[in-house]
Amino acid sequence: MSDYTYPPLYCNLGREDARAVGVEQFADFLESYGAELDLHSVPELAANRSGMSNAIRRYRRHPGELYKYTDLKAALTPEYGINIHRRLLTPNPYKAYRCGVAGMNAHTVYVVNDVIAPMAEPVSPAADHDCFYVGPISAVSQAWDNGTSMLILMFQKYMYRSGAFMHNDDPITWLNTMLRQDGIMVYVPDGMKLKRPVQIVNVNDSRTPMMSNRLLFVFLGHDAEADVILCDHSVGDTSYLSTQQVNVFQCYGSRLGLYGVEETSAQTTRFSNFSIHQEGGSRLDSNLLTLTCGLSRNTMWVRQVDDNVQTSVSGAVIADAQQHADNYIHIIHGRANCESEMYFKYVMGGASRGAFTGISYVDRNSQINSRQQHQSLVVSEKARVQSRPVLEIYADDVKCSHGSTVGKLDEAALFYMRQRGIPEQEARLLLQHAFVNDVLQRIPLEPLRERISRLAERRFRGDAAHCDGCSIKDYCQ
């Protein structure tokens, strides 16, 4: 590609003279390249870099309970480059990758590494806050209303009124805040029910080891409704490190479907942090699917505010070889008639490692119903899975349940299927697919549900999991 006629301008993070390894090397990087980073960043996002850098410097080797099952230090130690000058390494990703959800007719945004490609259907941020917007945060920052940046107005309208919106005790959040340069905003105004889903396709694509840091804001107004699909891909066998911070603000009565599908590579280390603020009467349906990965960690903090909040977070992991997948879900419950559910299923093969932590926090003033379930199938001798349900309850009038099972394939069912002529490998595939399929069946968008179910089946068959018609696979050869 033409962009490769001269090297992309990036700076190595893990320099030989680095004073420390692990997360501290990034603070060193900021010291050296902060000014250049700022030059190519959305100004509002550059504001708090030094604060995060200081937090990282204070951060010591022991990561505590938050990263109990994922070795953060090891994950962050290798050398990566940053595309600090924001070059779009694939000139037309819409044509090159063509990752679309068949029949979904989605508002699609491609992000190559962390650079947002010009959209096929660009939407402009509207001054009156009455129009739907999906696009770069930089465009919102550059739109002005009576002398104030639209981005600042957005922050004032949503983020600042929720004091505890951001969860700030996570080194990945610090890292992302410190290094991100731009991001995507999805804004759905009061009362609007978005008919088409928003699909954000993140593609790691570089010929040299690359770190990318993405930010996503999702603002849903009162009684607004939207579905957001996040797809993660990696091209080739380059090493990638990606951090993603997703900040969601749901106003009263809003409904959000939030779906993540990861089909990256063995050389990809991916951290995705969600901070979700749900006001009264709002509903969140989230489904996080890890099909292929190197090291993958989803951290989701959900804060329910007021009454009648519903939160459903489900997900599935299909892992083999040396893959490592970790889901950490923390729900802070609201007051009266709030509900939450966590439902995760893992199928672990090869020498893979899986971890799940589900934390339900119930304040003394809460009246809630909370369910938590994590089930794993371990289909090889060397695979391991860790499951940690945590209930922290200070109220009397609550219903909280949790369950965790780790087992093997049902040998009786396997034999029954073979007796009907189904070869053993096919029978195992059908049983494993059936195991995770009830998680996938919770996705309310039918085309997405069917596509993901097909992807999961292909994954079990050992085929690379790619969407129909997607040409990312051609780039992966």
Partner 1 sequence: MLEIRDLHAEVEGKEILRGVNLTIADGEVHVLMGPNGSGKSTLSNVLVGNPKYRVTQGSIVMDGKDLLAMSPDMRANEGVFMSFQTPVEIPGVSMTNFLRAALNAKRKHQGLDPIKGSDFLALLREKRKIVGLDAHFMSRGVNEGFSGGERKKGEIFQMAVLEPTFTILDETDSGLDVDALRTVVEGFNVLRNGHNSALVITHYQRMLDYLKPDHVHVLMDGHIVKEGDASLGYTIEERGFDWIKEEISTQP
Place of tokens 């690359």: 210
- Cβ proximity to partner 1: between 429 and 464 the closer is 429
CB of 441 to partner 1, least distance (A): 9
3-state helix, strand, coil in the chain (%, to 5): 25, 35, 40
CB of 450 to partner 1, least distance (A): 14
Q: How far apart are CA 33 and CA 50, in angstroms?
A: 12
Q: How far apart are CA 408 and CA 405, in angstroms?
A: 10
Contact (CB, 8 A) for 366 and 395: yes
Q: How far apart are CA 445 and CA 263, in angstroms?
A: 20
Contacts of 135 (CB under 8 A, 6+ apart): 109, 116, 119, 122, 123, 124, 125, 184, 185
- Cβ proximity to partner 1: between 266 and 422 the closer is 422
Q: How far is C-alpha 194 from the geometric centre of its chain's CA atoms? A: 21
- Cβ proximity to partner 1: between 127 and 413 the closer is 413
Q: Which helix (H) or strand (E) element contains residue 387? A: strand 384-393
- Cβ proximity to partner 1: between 143 and 406 the closer is 406
Structure tokens, 49 = 């870099």
CB of 449 to partner 1, least distance (A): 14
- Cβ proximity to partner 1: between 164 and 434 the closer is 434
CB of 446 to partner 1, least distance (A): 15
Q: Whole-angstrom distance between the N-terminal and C-terminal Cα of the chain?
A: 16
- Cβ proximity to partner 1: between 174 and 435 the closer is 435
- Cβ proximity to partner 1: between 91 and 403 the closer is 403
- Cβ proximity to partner 1: between 410 and 446 the closer is 410
Structure tokens, 328 = 């950490």
CB of 436 to partner 1, least distance (A): 9
Q: In this structure, what are the phi and psi dihedrals at residue 476, rounded to the nearest 5 degrees?
A: -85, -5
How does DSSP classify residue 126? P
Structure tokens, 96 = 């090159």
- Cβ proximity to partner 1: between 329 and 417 the closer is 417
Contact (CB, 8 A) for 23 and 73: yes
Q: Which residues bind partner 1 (CB under 8 A)?
A: 410, 412-413, 415-424, 426-427, 430-431, 433-435, 437-438
CB of 202 to partner 1, least distance (A): 30
Contacts of 404 (CB under 8 A, 6+ apart): 356, 373, 374, 375, 387, 389
Alpha-carbon torsion (439, 104, 257, 280), positive or negative: negative
Q: In this structure, what are the phi and psi dihedrals at residue 413, rounded to the nearest 5 degrees?
A: -65, -40
CB of 330 to partner 1, least distance (A): 29
CB of 448 to partner 1, least distance (A): 19
CB of 427 to partner 1, least distance (A): 8
